Amino acid sequence: MQNLLDKPYAIRQFVVVERDEVIEAKRKAEEKLSCEKDSKKEDLDSKKISTLVESIIRGGFGSIVPTIAATAILVDLVVKAIEKQKELSQKINVNYLSFSESCELRFPIGHPRENQVYVGHPTLLGVYYPMNEFHKKVFEHKFAELNMLLMNLGAKKVEVKYVSGWDFETLNQLEAPVKGKGKVRFKNLKNRKIIYEANYADNNSLKLPEKMAWYHFEPTWCLCYSNSTPI
């Protein structure tokens, strides 16, 4: 797992989590499939792939020695996983992990789920979101940090206006922190441009937050630079 997190973001960006036994069988099958393909210089059909996978599973691997019924099910799962991997690999670079290996990554509550594509957070190493929620979650995190930055720098009032982008139904699902009051949802106001506002009348803070993920990558958030370091 450490090797994955050491890789550049473009390489570790996408992950898929599968059952431990499927990953183990698939990796062994891929080794044999690669040798078979190299020796024959041609693509292997699904029947040949299925035969190779079944021979690996029937021979047992690791501590797993499945029954005849379990073997048939596992063969089907592994073959489908290999086919899906081939399909995905034509579009994006995906890292396949077992559930055991994925324990070192951070997912939303209730995740990871089998065969779902997850996308890594650009600034939080090891944090992954389901692909269909990625942009919303990243925007939510980015807005939360900006709001926290403003609160810590003594803002008395924060007002956000809608210009363009997501529809109001999507905006209404977002959340943002409010100092001393937990979280507040964005407003779903179709007839107004203000979608979020917060008042901090007694806010006397005047310091940068200690931990920030986006600040050092957003030049427009900083007033000046010293030796290329935001201050």
pLDDT tens profile 44-70: 566 666 766 666 666 665 555 555 566
Confidence of residue 157 (pLDDT cuts 50, 70, 90): confident
**Whether residues 98 and 8 fall in one domain:** yes
Range of the domain at 159: 135-230
Which pairing describes strands 94-98 and 14-18: parallel, antiparallel, or unpaired?
A: parallel
Rounded CA separation 66/57 (Å): 7
The model's pLDDT over 83-129, given as tens digits with 9 standing for 90+, comes to 777 778 778 889 999 999 999 999 999 999 998 999 999 999 999 99
**Whether residues 104 and 152 fall in one domain:** no
**Domain total for the chain?**
2
Within a domain: 130:
no
What percent of the chain stands above pLDDT 90?
Answer: 23
**Whether residues 18 and 91 fall in one domain:** yes
**Whether residues 115 and 206 fall in one domain:** no
Domain end among 80, 96, 120: 120
| pLDDT at res. 226 | 40
Supply angle C-alpha 199, 204, 209, rounded to 5.
Answer: 90
Within a domain: 146:
yes
pLDDT above 50: residue 130: yes
pLDDT above 70: residue 174: no
Within a domain: 126:
no
**Whether residues 8 and 103 fall in one domain:** yes
**Whether residues 116 and 196 fall in one domain:** no
The model's pLDDT over 160-171, given as tens digits with 9 standing for 90+, comes to 876 766 665 665
- Can you tell me which residue has the tokens 């040949």? 48
Rounded CA separation 7/146 (Å): 28
What end-to-end distance do the CA atoms of the chain give, in Å? 34
Residue 219 CB partners (closer than 8 Å, separation 6+): 225, 230
Within a domain: 36:
yes
| pLDDT at res. 61 | 57
Residue 49 CB partners (closer than 8 Å, separation 6+): 29, 33, 79, 82
Within a domain: 129:
no
| pLDDT at res. 69 | 60
**Whether residues 151 and 218 fall in one domain:** yes
Give φ, ψ of 230 to 5 degrees.
-60, 140
